[in-house]
Structure 1
């Protein structure tokens, strides 16, 4: 792997520990309405935008599923948990290293801009990313390459020279399809053989990513 000229990262489950809160909120919302969520269905949702999630819910619960009612309960439960949102271990150190190496960086997320701004502000990270690409900035979401291609375009860096950091299968596929040097930092989903085949390496955490970037710059 050559030294990257920019770093583009996912947000949920990569920079912030949102995925566990999202999971807890989903299971609680389902119980509240009378649905039984399963780990298998939830795992397929990780990293996806609402249209895909809605299709998975309908497929699992049937056409009678009141998806918008469930979505509203899910959002309400998540907001109640949001004050507990933690930054992922190593994220602050990684950003410090990117500053020291003068590497431009961006976020490529399936979440919306309001959520991204809120999470960044919660942990005093406002302005630490040169670009934020969120829902509404691209026509096709992950696993299509559009979010990552848009981020590279805004940074003015060839996608092949970008290091992409992801925690979800759908995100890894998006970054790899964009032609980026892709690294998976597993969160809820473990790295399987497909992911290993798409990534330049699997990192145990963001500290490992930081250490590798430092080593490549020496």
Structure 2
């Protein structure tokens, strides 16, 4: 009778032990599964956030690439120097017009024409009265006073007249919206006009060589 009681107690204890072990295993598995699920969710959120940030960055960069250039919209078929008065600008007409063709916008005037003179690197622009000095050598007296500037002209110089230097073949005034001539003239025609000392021009020259790149007549009715 005693042996049976001991066996029953032993079996009962063993059953309780097995039950506790099973509960312990279930708890560990559940915690491990919960941690794994949480880590997976966190990883997915991080990846999604990173992708969203990357896409946002791309959109911002794309918007910056298409930012509106500064300046005035260029009119079709009209060069910027004929659309806007760049008297006193530090750049050559070729450089200004190239910017307009490439961007579709005429750049703002980079220097005030108050004294009629502007300097920048290898270019100098002077607006003033044209005078004759010698064959191939003329003078421009800046508007608003200042020291007169001698410059050289050659067949490489772009000379554009409105009426006094030269004009259209039918004798009509030829000028752009900025009031400067558009007809191509010769050096001889330029020198003849210079001898009158009554023509206003815009001269863009290289101060180092003294050579004029462009001479444009300012039309006066």
Q: Give TM-score scaled by structure 2 length.
A: 0.24
| Larger helix share, 1 or 2 | 1
Whose strand fraction is larger, Structure 1's or Structure 2's? 2
The higher-RCO structure (CA 8 Å, 6+ apart) is 1
Rg (Cα) greater in structure:
2
